Amino acid sequence: MAGQQQKSEDSQSETSFESILQVDVPISRDGKHKRIVTRLLADIEQLKPGTALKVPLNALPDSKENIRSALNRATRQKGIRVETSSDADHLYIWKAVPQK
């Protein structure tokens, strides 16, 4: 009996899920596209004006649509303007020219 009483005193209430300290909560989420998007962003930063990345679709870990969406979220977050195009075999990515 004393063990059961001790357990209820130590926990504030019975919950369905484990609780952790807020300082231990991860601040950012590493999505499944993080590795490829990080590589693309690094390459985009090195692009010279008038050049584009030519990424083979078979090198992508997911569909071009999903990678394009993930890249769009990341570039908006970083304030980088890019444009994309694709054909049957490649995804093309380049820095957008600032509008006047």
pLDDT by residue for the chain (100 residues), tens digit each?
444 444 444 545 688 989 889 888 877 666 789 999 999 999 999 999 999 999 999 999 999 999 999 999 999 999 999 999 999 999 999 999 887 7
Please state, in angstroms and rounded to a whole number, the distance separating the CA atoms of residues 98 and 81: 8
pTM: 0.69
Question: Is the CA virtual torsion 16, 18, 21, 23 positive or negative?
Answer: negative
> Which CATH number applies to 32-100?
3.30.1370
Query: Which helix H or strand E contains 8, and what residues bound it?
Result: helix 2-10
> For the chain, which residues make up each domain, given as ranges?
32-100
Q: Using DSSP, state whether 92 is helix, strand or coil.
A: strand
**Could you give phi then psi for residue 84, rounded to 5 degrees?**
-135, 160
